[in-house]
Structure 1
């Protein structure tokens, strides 16, 4: 890890390309209601993210800053500072996307991520975000009923989406009556229709969707979404959405975005908290690859930007 400095952060956040404003509705995507509108600070545009480019890192409460090749890294003293900064960041990305394309496509994951988004349903964010322009997806989902405690949809609905007014047809959950394979195929089919109509932007260098923002957490083993260390799905090149039936973390059956989709996003935010993540983050940010590449190390947007939101315990070994 490069040495620490006292420089302030330089954001490298690119707005997505302009696309025509269109709408569609897909019966095989389920939805419910959400809320509001986004006028935040202007987006800073200072070039394309690259792992070969060193960028400065923001820390809070007078923590020293550090320079890293792994993207724009923000380290926070406490969870409250992290959640406020994350709310600012999401609000800014949403505002930029709506101004550029007339809609905002965001993909969520599970775990503790939703709790870190809690500021969004509080003032001022619940009033300034244009929730009617949001289109919400899941980067991974457990193949369980939508009212099941293991459902990422239920987690997001209970923890955020039911507290803000999103249009019902713009929240795209999986068809929970299908098998894992069929649910993955169905979700990809629906996503392809939304890319055709530009509700979700299209990557310029491939046929992949270009989400305005993908929010990801990380497991203590370095997995992201439902892409686990050593699993063949980490090398999937063709499918946008894949099924997994042997997840090492229960429940075993899931669907997940693949790396072609994750790395085509305009913005990817890694939100990682807790001291149990410190060892794997140390490895992910290190120079040595002694036991193979972790899934978290494979997050590398080709047309976009990577931002890390870390609390001090998670970043304690960097």
Structure 2
């Protein structure tokens, strides 16, 4: 279980096309799931939105995916109804969960009855995490088996944006943001202490539009972009799944993916 120790260096895996990236990501998710199930009989996962849910389509129909043992949370969520087009839960349901045999009780969306009170909404979601993790784990923060993140053109991840006060949050598991620079402005998000206690964190970024910011995140982390601050503590692992277009500018060394 991750504890105190040096943060993990990123492992950069670059693939010749988005299609190869997606297939490799699916194999990686299945590997992490297998490890988790062997250890504890379940697989805890947090997913962000954007293009990530569609990138997980390659898991549909794959042998070895034990959907009944998944426990799925959201790395961030917009404060909108669950059927709203901006909802990460709606996106994940449309792109993935409606197409696979995962029990509804294993998916943990926000409580949409609390949208008018962001503090209550984030507290409620933190209680969902406490119910899943705190009763069984002695760690101060939950230890997800895997957190999957995208990266915005400004280097943001989950709903952690450049220059925002949430970047320095040290205690809360789930925090809210009322002034997201990207609409919709009201959201909740997992904090760095939670993200950086995961056993595995994997970013997914594709396309030449990500090349400049990926170079900054990997080659110049002292700039402090939000995605640079994701550094799981030992023995956690940090992977970047990118295509060659996204990695064209970075000098960071590539690694072969082992699954």
Alpha-carbon displacement from aligned partner over 1:95-154 (angstroms, at most 9, x marks no partner) = 1101100110000000011111110013xx1x3211110000000000000000000000
Q: Which has the higher helix share?
A: 2
The aligned counterpart of 1:247 is 180
Higher relative contact order structure (alpha carbons within 8 Å, sequence separation ≥ 6): 2
Cα RMSD over matched residues? 1.6
**Inter-CA distance 81–49: structure 2 relative to 1 (3 Å threshold):** farther
Match for 1:277 among 210, 214, 217?
210
* Alignment partner of 2:127 out of 168, 189, 195: 189
1:177 Cα deviation after fit? 1.6
1:18-76, Cα deviation, whole Å (9 max, x unpaired): xxxxxxxxxxxxxxxxxxxxxxxxxxxxxx9845xxxxxxxxxxxxxxxxxx4211101
Asked whether the 8 Å contact 2:150–2:204 carries over to 1, the reply is yes
Moved more, 177-186 or 155-164: 177-186
Equivalent residue for 2:167, pick from 234, 239, 245: 234
Give the aligned partner of residue 11 of structure 1: none
Q: TM-score, normalised by structure 2?
A: 0.91
Tell me, what secondary structure is at the counterpart of 2:14?
strand
Alignment counterpart, residue 12 of structure 2, candidates 73, 88, 91: 73
Q: Distance in 1 between matches of 2:92 and 2:147?
A: 14
Q: 1:133 to 1:255 in 2, by over 3 A?
A: same
- Aligned residue-pair number: 245
Corresponding residue for 2:99?
Answer: 163
C-alpha displacement of 1:196: 2.8
How far apart in 2 are the matches of 1:194 and 1:118?
A: 26
Q: 2:255 aligns to what?
A: none
Aligned to 1:33: none
What 5-or-longer segments of structure 1 have no aligned partner? 1-15, 18-47, 52-69
Cα distance between partner residues in 1 of 2:91 and 2:46:
14
Closer, same or farther in 2 for the Cα pair 1:164/1:288, shift >3 Å? closer
Q: Which residue of 2 aligns with 1:57?
A: none
Among 286, 296, 299, the alignment partner of 2:227 is 296
- C-alpha contact (below 8 Å) 1:222/1:296 kept by paired residues: yes
> C-alpha separation between the residues in 1 aligned to 2:153 and 2:33?
29
Q: TM-score, normalised by structure 1?
A: 0.74
- 1:67-100 Cα distance to aligned partner (Å, 9 max, x none): xxx4211101101100110000000101110110
**1:288: Cα distance to partner?**
6.9
Which has the higher mean CA deviation after the structures are superposed, 292-301 or 248-257? 292-301
* 2:10/2:231 contact within 8 Å kept: no
Q: Does 1:83 align with 2:22?
A: yes
Q: Detail structure 1 runs of 4+ shifted over 6 Å in the superposition.
A: none
2:57 counterpart residue number: 118
Q: Which has the larger radius of gyration?
A: 1
Q: How does 1:173-188 map to 2 (within 5 A)?
A: 173-178=109-114, 179-188=117-126
Unpaired stretches in structure 2, ≥5 consecutive residues? 251-259
1:167-207, CA deviations, whole angstroms, 9 ceiling, x for partnerless residues? Answer: 11110000112122211000001211211333xx554xxx0
Structure 2 counterpart of 1:258: 191
Instruction: State the SS of the aligned residue for 1:73.
Output: strand
